[in-house]
Amino acid sequence: MKKSDILTIILNWNNTQDTLACLNSLQESTLSIDILVIDNNSRAEEVKKLQQLAQKFPQVKFVYNNSNLGFVGGNNQGMAVALKENYPYVLLLNNDTVVDKNCLALMRADLEQNQQAGIAGPKIFYYAEPDKIWHTAGVLNHWLAKGNGLRWQTATTPMTAGIDFITGCCFLARTVMLKEIGLFDEQFFAYLEDVDLSQRAKEHGWKLLYEPRAHIWHKVSSASGGSAFNPIPLFLRTRNRILYQKKHATFWQKIIFFFYHTAFVKILCWYGLFKFKPKISQAVLKGYLSGYLNPKIKLNKNFPNFTFLENDKQ
C-alpha cells in the first residue's frame, strides 16, 4: 500500500456522504498521501453506499469492521497499519471535515523543521460558518479537566509553547513517537483520548505544534448527534474526565476535581429531571459511576446505543 510517507486514517460510521466530501478535498491536496478508510460497523445500507464509493477511489484502501471499535479502537487499527508498514507519519482525520489543499504540506513541513515536535494540528473552522474558528490548539485546566481550544485564535505562525493537547479531529503524528508512547488508550472509547495521548507525548519529552496557516472545516459532532445534551457524549465525557484525572492528575488535583465534578454531575442530573429528559440524568450518573467504579464497562457493538439507552424512548 505504501506510496507516500503519510498514511491518512479516516473513520466512517453511518456517514458516507461526509466521507465522500472529505476524500474529494484530499484529492486537491498539494501533498501526496496514502488513505485508509475504516468503516466502524455502519448500518447495512451505509456499508453498501461506502462500497459503491470505494469504486470511485481505487487508490484508497477500505476496511470494513464487524463491530464498532469506537473512535479510539478504529483509529488505533489504522495507526497500527502505519506502524507496521513503516510510514514516517500518520494523519488522523475526522470524516466530517474538508481540508484546505495546503494543510497537510504545511504541517509536515513544520514537523520536518522541528524534530522535537511529535504531533502537529491545524486551525479548525466550523463548516457551517467557514470564518468562525472551532478549535486551534488545546489548553487544559489540570484541576478541573476542562479544555480550551480557542486560546490562539490570533496566532499567525507555527508555535509549540503552552500547548496541552492537539484535537484528534485532525492531527499529524510521527510514528516514531507512537512507537515510544503507544497508541490511544482504548478504555476511553471516544472523547479525551486525544488529550491523554498528547499528555503522554509531553511526558516523554515531545512537543505539540500548532500550525495556524493550515486550515480545515469541521461539521461539528455529526457522528454523535450534534446536541450538547446528547446522552452518548455526556456519558463518555463524564466518565472519561474521571479516567484522565486518575492517570495524570496530582493528589490535590484529584481532590479538587472530585468535588468539582461531583457538583457538576448533580447539576446535570437535576437539569435532566427538571426538563423531563431522563436520558440526560441517566447518562451523566452512569458515566460518573463508571468512571470511579467500573471504568472498563463494555459498550455494545451497536454504539452509540448503550445497553441502558436501547429501549428508552424518552
Domain locations along the chain: 6-218, 231-293
Asked if the model's pLDDT at residue 312 lies above 70, the reply is no
Residue 307 has a pLDDT of 43
Give this prediction's pTM: 0.90
Q: What is the dihedral angle through the alpha carbons of 269, 220, 88, 163, rounded to the nearest 10 degrees?
A: -60
- Mean pLDDT value across residues 191-219: 98
Residue 313 has a pLDDT of 32
- Mean pLDDT of all residues belonging to the chain: 91
Q: Is 252 within 8 Å of 160 (Cβ atoms)?
A: no
Nearest-angstrom CA–CA distance, 61 and 260: 45
Q: What is the pLDDT of residues 22-80, one digit of tens each?
A: 999 999 999 999 999 999 999 999 999 999 999 999 999 999 999 989 899 999 999 99
The set of cell numbers assigned to 258 is: 472530585
- Mean pLDDT value across residues 176-185: 98
Options 3.30.930.10, 3.40.640.10, 3.40.50.720, 3.90.550.60; CATH of 6-218: 3.90.550.60
Asked if the model's pLDDT at residue 308 lies above 70, the reply is no
Q: How confident is the model at residue 228 (pLDDT cuts 50, 70, 90)?
A: low
DSSP codes joined into one string, the chain: ---SSEEEEEEESS-HHHHHHHHHHHHT-SS--EEEEEE-S--HHHHHHHHHHHHH-TTSEEEE-SS--HHHHHHHHHHHHHHHTT-SEEEEEETTEEE-TTHHHHHHHHHHH-TTEEEEEEEEEESSSTTSEEESSBEEETTTTEEES-TTTT--S-B-TT--B--TTEEEEEHHHHHHH-S--TTS-SSSHHHHHHHHHHHTT-EEEEEEEEEEEE-TTTTTTS-TT-HHHHHHHHHHHHHHHHHH--HHHHHHHHHHHHHHHHHHHHHHHHTT-HHHHHHHHHHHHHHHH-TTPPPPTTTTS-TTTTT---
Asked if the model's pLDDT at residue 150 lies above 80, the reply is yes
Asked if the model's pLDDT at residue 154 lies above 70, the reply is yes
Burial class (CB in 10 A: 0-12, 13-18, 19+), 162: exposed
Residue 284 has a pLDDT of 95
